[in-house]
Amino acid sequence: MASPAPAGARPRERIDRTRLSGTYKSLLAGTLVLILLLVFILENTKRVKVTYFGSSGHLALGVALLIAAVAGALIVGIAGSARIIQLRKHAKRTRS
């Protein structure tokens, strides 16, 4: 059972979350991910041969995997953006 507040004590005001606090948390999470990526790249420095549509070259394994991950993220982002545009057009048509 909670004890009652002492006499004369002001009740604690709840502070609403703001966009800035969300941005701060996102920046901290992003910084952590970048540090982990840097460690990953620095630990995987073995050079590997990469061939893509007939062209080939040599890259560090960590860099090659990072490029593949970024390309995958771009594809997912493009598909997600297309879906968002599609849903907005549908919502606009149903409102009219």
Rounded to 5 degrees, what angle do the CA atoms 77, 79, 85 make?
100
Give CA–CA dist 79/60, Å, rounded: 29
Per-residue pLDDT of the chain (96 residues; tens, 9 = 90+): 556 666 666 667 777 777 778 888 889 998 999 899 889 888 888 999 988 898 899 998 888 888 888 999 999 999 999 999 999 999 989 887
Report the sign of the C-alpha dihedral through residues 9, 15, 21, 22, in that order. Answer: positive
Give CA–CA dist 82/91, Å, rounded: 14
Q: How far is CA 6 from the centre of its chain?
A: 45
Q: Can you give the pTM of this predicted structure?
A: 0.59
Residue spans per domain, the chain = 70-96
Enumerate the β-bridge partners of residue 59: 48
